[in-house]
Amino acid sequence: MRRAPLLAPLAGLLVIAAARAADFAVLSPATWDAYVPQGKEVDAIYGDYVLRNEHLVAVVAQPLASRNANMTVRGVGGSLIDLTERGAQNDQLSCYYPAAGRYALVNSQQVRVAVDGRPVALAPDAPPATGKQVVLEIPAEPVAGRPHLTLRYTLADGARELLVETVYSNPTDQPVADDLSDSIRADRTFQFGFDAAASCFWASDEWFRQAYGFVVPGYEVKGTGQRGTLLQLVKAGGTNKLTLAPGASQTIARRVFPASSLLGVRGHAGRLAGVEVVPTTIRVVDPQPVRQAQVAVYRDDQLYAAGRTDAEGKVEFPLPLGKARIEVTALDGRDETIELDAGLLGQRNMTIGLSFPSYVVGQITDAAGRPIPAKVSFTGRDGTKD
């Protein structure tokens, strides 16, 4: 990203920073170190497309018939394969397939990119482009009897969500139809759910501290299956069928975003839905930071969402206004509960102290007083857990 000269006036610095905050790059040896995101599940390779601003880093796989993320996540061309917060990079997404992989996205020659409305070259040696908004469009191969499909990814300056759109059109003289669905690969320890009030489908991996939100206004997102979860986009009235008359078109928009916890995803989805939220920071100490402590928030005695603390014993998220109960549990079972007042406004910064952990020091020897390997177990008494 371009930077203003060190001695430029402050006003100039602010203008430049605001005007040049959305980047596009084709991954290559020249751009790799500066643009590829970090995380356990990063699948980017040379030739893929990076959309980045001050909040997010997203990677869309180059549309090729041979583009697979790995041995089990296949056919990812044109799909979203990496997404993470830029300031705390931790990609855990295997793949998000808009339109559920029902169309072939295999022709990289048809890809169109514009930055602030200006076309951008897609050659591997093309320099990165920077502006207020990046738009990436990937047409699919036509399928007889179905609408024509174009995937459109948009990332704007300051946006905390990647806008993902499926643009369906019917250039024929006959009606065409298709099922409205997406699919996601987020395996192993991920859990899934749907927040109806915010029209947000979510995928959360609590242990690896990453969650994803998919807000689709006007649709209920129904997840089916486990590995390779199919996401049916159900309209009011209970159908996920799309029918287009000759010459008609329809665009379906999703706002996709990452967070370090389900607390962050649900809070941000609520904010998008117009709910008033409060930036909340919780630190868990004993008095040292307690890592991987679970922070669970309950509203009306129902679990709202949970997350785990980072290496600094901290979890940050937007929390809707209202009464809440916070239960903190360390990995070793130490716990604490606090109640939040409904009327508390402004930013919440709370430190929750846990009792200092107990520990055992021992030396195990044989009959001659020499150290010897041994197994030690602790059994709880009077209701104490083992």
Rounded mean pLDDT, 331-349? 82
Whether 1 is in a domain gets the answer: no
Confidence of residue 353 (pLDDT cuts 50, 70, 90): very high
Residues shown for the chain: 386
Terminal-to-terminal C-alpha distance of the chain: 54
Shared domain check, 282 and 240: no
Between 192 and 4, the higher pLDDT residue: 192
Whether 3 is in a domain gets the answer: no
Q: What value does the mean pLDDT of the chain take?
A: 91
pLDDT tens-digit series, residues 49-108? 999 999 999 999 999 999 999 999 999 999 999 999 999 999 999 999 999 999 999 999
Domain count for the chain = 2
pLDDT at 345: 56
Shared domain check, 144 and 19: yes
Shared domain check, 356 and 246: no
Whether 147 is in a domain gets the answer: yes
pLDDT at 237: 75
Whether 109 is in a domain gets the answer: yes
Rounded mean pLDDT, 286-304? 96
Are 297 and 306 spatial neighbours (Cβ–Cβ below 8 Å)?
yes
pLDDT at 19: 40
Whether 2 is in a domain gets the answer: no
pLDDT exceeds cutoff 90 at 385: no
Residue type, 42: V
Shared domain check, 122 and 222: yes
Are 26 and 108 spatial neighbours (Cβ–Cβ below 8 Å)?
no
Whether 4 is in a domain gets the answer: no
Boundary residue ending a domain (201, 228, 263)? 263
pLDDT tens-digit series, residues 224-258? 876 558 999 999 778 999 999 999 999 999 999 99
pLDDT at 346: 64
Shared domain check, 28 and 155: yes
Boundary residue ending a domain (231, 263, 295)? 263
* Closest by Cα among 317, 321, 279, 311 to 296: 317
Whether 64 is in a domain gets the answer: yes
Shared domain check, 181 and 212: yes
Q: What is the dihedral of CA 57, 63, 67, 68, to 10 degrees?
A: 50
pLDDT exceeds cutoff 90 at 208: yes
Q: Report the CATH number that the domain containing residue 320 is assigned in CATH.
A: 2.60.40.10
Q: In terms of C-beta density within 10 A (0-12 exposed, 13-18 middle, 19 or more buried), how is residue 203 classed?
A: buried
Shared domain check, 251 and 135: yes
Are 246 and 175 spatial neighbours (Cβ–Cβ below 8 Å)?
yes
Boundary residue ending a domain (235, 263, 291)? 263
pLDDT exceeds cutoff 70 at 111: yes
pLDDT tens-digit series, residues 359-380? 888 899 999 999 999 998 888 8
Q: Distance (Å, rounded) from C-alpha 214 to C-alpha 162? A: 10
Whether the pTM exceeds 0.85: the reply is yes
Residue 371: domain span: 276-386
Whether 269 is in a domain gets the answer: no
Shared domain check, 308 and 175: no
Provide the edge-to-edge strand list for the sheet that holds 80-85. 129-131, 22-26, 49-52, 56-60, 80-85, 95-97, 181-185, 229-235, 219-224
Shared domain check, 307 and 250: no
Shared domain check, 290 and 192: no
Q: Report the CATH number that the domain containing residue 227 is assigned in CATH.
A: 2.70.98
At residue 228's C-alpha, the angle toward residues 169 and 150, to 5°, is: 15
pLDDT at 3: 37
Shared domain check, 254 and 114: yes
pLDDT above 90: percentage of residues in the chain: 81
Shared domain check, 281 and 254: no
Rounded mean pLDDT, 14-25? 63
Rounded mean pLDDT, 143-162? 98
Confidence of residue 2 (pLDDT cuts 50, 70, 90): very low
Q: Quick one: tokens of 99?
A: 């339109």
Question: CA distances (Å), 251 to each of 165, 217, 242, 293, in order?
Answer: 6, 12, 11, 42
Q: Which residue has the tokens 């980017």?
A: 44
pLDDT above 70: percentage of residues in the chain: 92
